[in-house]
Amino acid sequence: MSTPPSPSSEPQTPWFASTVVYQVYPRSFADSDGDGVGDLPGITSRLDHLADLGVGVVWLSPVYASPQDDNGYDISDYRAVDPSFGTLADMDALIAAAHERGIKVVMDLVVNHTSDEHPWFVESTASKDSPKRDWYVWRPPREGFSAGDPGAEPTNWRSAFSGSTWQLDERTGEYYLHLFSRKQPDLNWENPEVRAAVADMMRWWLDRGVDGFRMDVINFISKRYDADGSLPDGAPWPDGGLWGDGGPFFMTGPRLHEYLAELRREVFAGREGQFLTVGEMPGITVEAAVELTDAGTGVLDMVFQFEHVNLDHGPGGKWDPQPFSLLDLKASFGRWQAGMAERGWNSLYWDNHDQPRIVSRWGDDGRWWRESATALATLLHLHRGTPYVYQGEEIGMTNLPFAAPEDYSDIEAVNHYRQAVAAGADPQALVASMARLTRDNARSGMQWDGGPNGGFTTGEPWYRVNPNASWLNVEAQRDDPASVLSHHKALIALRRDEPCVAAGDFTMLAATHPHVYAYRRATAATELLVLVAVSGEEQPLAAVAAAVAADLGDDAAAWDGAELVLGNWHDEVRSGLAPLRPWEARVLRRPATA
Ligand code: TEU
């Protein structure tokens, strides 16, 4: 039986507990000059949409100068805006316009690697004695092999974008490490000059007015070297294949906390203002995340963990999708909520530029599209932590149709397709099997209205716009109180206005119910009961009622009189623990019971 928390025991909540972050993928958000590629003036022209939504922070995926090998996550100049996105003046105008609307601007910090066209790397490849040689991770061929021989790569690690993580530089006869594409060489963070250069660049952006950073694969910056500086081979991947799993040797390495503490000190210490730092950390554990995000001893405000977004990845990884289980999701979210109840802080997300659209992934983008989109948003947003909304999620954008290999544009998918076909896979079957989880689903043009290209561009879009933009768009939903957009506005307002959402403790209910996600949030003053049917079938709540009695020591009937704060079935409203209709979400509130 959990007693209502007494005022003194409530952990202090950070400023970002009552706000929501909106992620913009600049290439696909809004094109102001008709060249088919989204840009900074386009984002500025749409800031009222974000203000109307009520978000407090906008995170921009990279806009820096880049050859765009990985759509900007390969940076060739950290202090320049890529001409396809605009100019530094456009960036200054965007920052000013966002601040006028009370919206903070967070940049994407991509410093595990640079582009191979960055002057640092160009100088590093010049010769083995280059002053910048040690700015990257160079190694000679594997002992007993000559450069270029099959198997001569220094380790057997597989890149996230297929193939080896090592690229031979013919000129110097050595290999450089690239955990992602060969045009994304990893920086050597062991080198204090590298860390100083990164800190200096971050200060430069803060001086321009940005309010923080989303840090790309930041837990990859500390590699786990052997005593002699070498890097060990990884265990074979379950799907067989040529390469091994290097993750244990580059994820959350021994000096990560030290490097991030140094950055916090060198970049933020003594600087006035409220800043946000969120670290993207594939493979991070709850325990490690608590240490990294503890308000007192931590070095980041929050992290992006991947446990839930890998739940439908099979043994072969994302290209081997497996059915989603709500019980697995409850177990994962339950662990992160409990793990961060006293210390640390969670980020809450379904979508981003690397994930498929949640309504298609774990919802129902057909018959129950509106209900499932709003149900899944409710389920996520009212947990303890800071929610993130990815562009288009607020209107329930869906996955794309894929009919041919040309329908894929993302380097991760294109490389996988090529490699799998070369290994004998059936091309058409591959086109179909990759569709569910490919990142391309997140990268179609934003759907602003029902006009040509969904109002994303007046030109030829760099990548497709979903044909359903004709009916699924911001304009169609703006003034509809029952729309997915209006529901997101209500959720964001509830987090801003109801302290129990920002500060309340979390109790999972009916953890073994396969189709209903139920939990309570509570402060000394208020209790919220969140009930969500994750199913196209009606869900009687007997099990939840029993759980309310068992887990809360409460009489479920006591909720009959509770206030219905938010619901997504607008015609015949039900309250209390009446059965949930398909994909129904119901949020009840009452004063805390002593
Ligand atoms: O993503 C890191 C990462 O974990 C993803 O690549 C993930 O493995 C993959 O998307 C799952 O399909 C970050 C950025 O978010 C991503 O866009 C970049 O491609 C990557 O780093 C390299 O910078």
Q: Is 319 in the pocket of ligand 1 (CB under 6 A)?
A: no
> Is 160 touching ligand 1 by the criterion CB < 6 Å?
yes
CA distance 488 to 499: 18
Distance 516 CA to ligand 1 centre (A): 31
CB 189 within 8 A of CB 259: yes
Pocket test for ligand 1, best of 23, 73, 74, 440 (most atoms within 8 A of CB): 73
507 DSSP β-pair partners: 520
Q: Are strands 347-348 and 386-390 parallel, antiparallel or unpaired?
A: parallel
Instruction: Write out the two tokens for 82.
Output: 């890529």
The per-residue pLDDT for 190 is 98
Centroid of ligand 1 to alpha carbon of 288 (angstroms): 20
pLDDT in tens, 185-210: 999 999 999 999 999 999 999 999 99
User: Ligand 1 centre from 354 Cα, in Å?
Assistant: 6
The Cβ-side half-sphere exposure at 32, using a 13 Å CA radius, reads 13
Q: How far is CA 159 from each of CA 182, 242, 245, 276, rounded to the nearest angstrom?
A: 9, 11, 9, 30
Predicted pLDDT of residue 431: 97
Q: Are 434 and 413 in contact (CB under 8 A)?
A: yes
Check residue 44 and give its pLDDT: 98
- The protein residue with its alpha carbon nearest to ligand 1, atom 11, reads 354
Distance CA 322, CA 358 (A): 15
Q: What separation in Å is there between the alpha carbon of 180 and the centre of ligand 1? A: 8
Structure tokens, 523: 């402060």
Using the atom order of ligand 1, give the atom closest to the CA of residue 73. 23
Q: Report CA(216)–ligand 1 centroid distance (Å).
A: 8
DSSP H helices, 369-483, are 369-381, 411-422, 427-434, 474-478
Q: At what angle do helices 369-381 and 484-497 cross, to 10 degrees?
A: 20
| Short-list 85, 59, 61, 87, CA closest to 73 | 61
Q: How far is CA 468 from CA 30, 285, 396, 440, 465, in A?
A: 17, 38, 11, 16, 8
Residue 1 has a pLDDT of 43
Element (H, E) at 293: helix 286-293
Tally of CB atoms within 10 A around 378: 25
pLDDT > 90: what percent of the chain? Answer: 89
Residue 282 Cα: closest atom of ligand 1? 4
Pocket test for ligand 1, best of 217, 414, 439 (most atoms within 8 A of CB): 217
CA of 571 to the centre of ligand 1 (A): 42
Mean pLDDT of all residues in the chain?
95
- Protein residue whose Cα sits closest to atom 12 of ligand 1: 354
- pLDDT value of residue 241: 77
Ligand 1 proximity of 354 Cβ (cutoff 6 Å): yes
Digit-coded pLDDT (tens) for 535-567 = 999 887 777 777 777 777 766 778 888 999 999
Closest CA to 56 of 502, 525, 567: 502
* Residues carrying an active site annotation: 216, 280
**Which protein residue's CA is at the shortest distance from atom 18 of ligand 1?**
73
In percent, how much of the chain has pLDDT > 70? 97
220 lines ligand 1 (CB under 6 A): no
CA neighbours within 13 Å on the CB side: how many for 451? 8
584 CA to centre of ligand 1 in angstroms: 33
Residues 6+ apart with CB under 8 A from 594: 4
- Give the residue whose CA is nearest to atom 16 of ligand 1: 354
Read off the pLDDT band of 10 (50, 70, 90).
low
| Ligand 1, atom nearest to 112 Cα | 23
Ligand 1: residue of 354, 390, 439 to mutate (most ligand atoms within 8 A of CB) is 354
User: CA end-to-end span of the chain, whole Å?
Assistant: 13
| 118, 75 Cβ separation under 8 angstroms | yes
C-alpha to C-alpha distance for 312 and 310, rounded to whole angstroms:
6
Spatial CB neighbours of 289, under 8 Å, sequence gap ≥ 6: 281, 303, 305, 336, 339, 340, 344
318 close to ligand 1 (CB < 6 Angstrom): yes
Would you say the CB of residue 73 lies under 6 angstroms from ligand 1?
yes
pLDDT tens sequence across 269-314: 999 899 999 999 999 999 999 999 999 889 999 999 999 999 999 9
- pTM confidence score: 0.97
**Cα–Cα separations (whole angstroms), residue 33 to 69, 85, 306, 320, 357:** 22, 10, 36, 40, 27
* 158 within ligand 1 shell (Cβ under 6 A): no
Give the DSSP per-residue string, 462-515.
SS---GGGGTSSHHHHHT-TTSHHHHHHHHHHHHHH-HHHHH-EEEEE-TT-SS
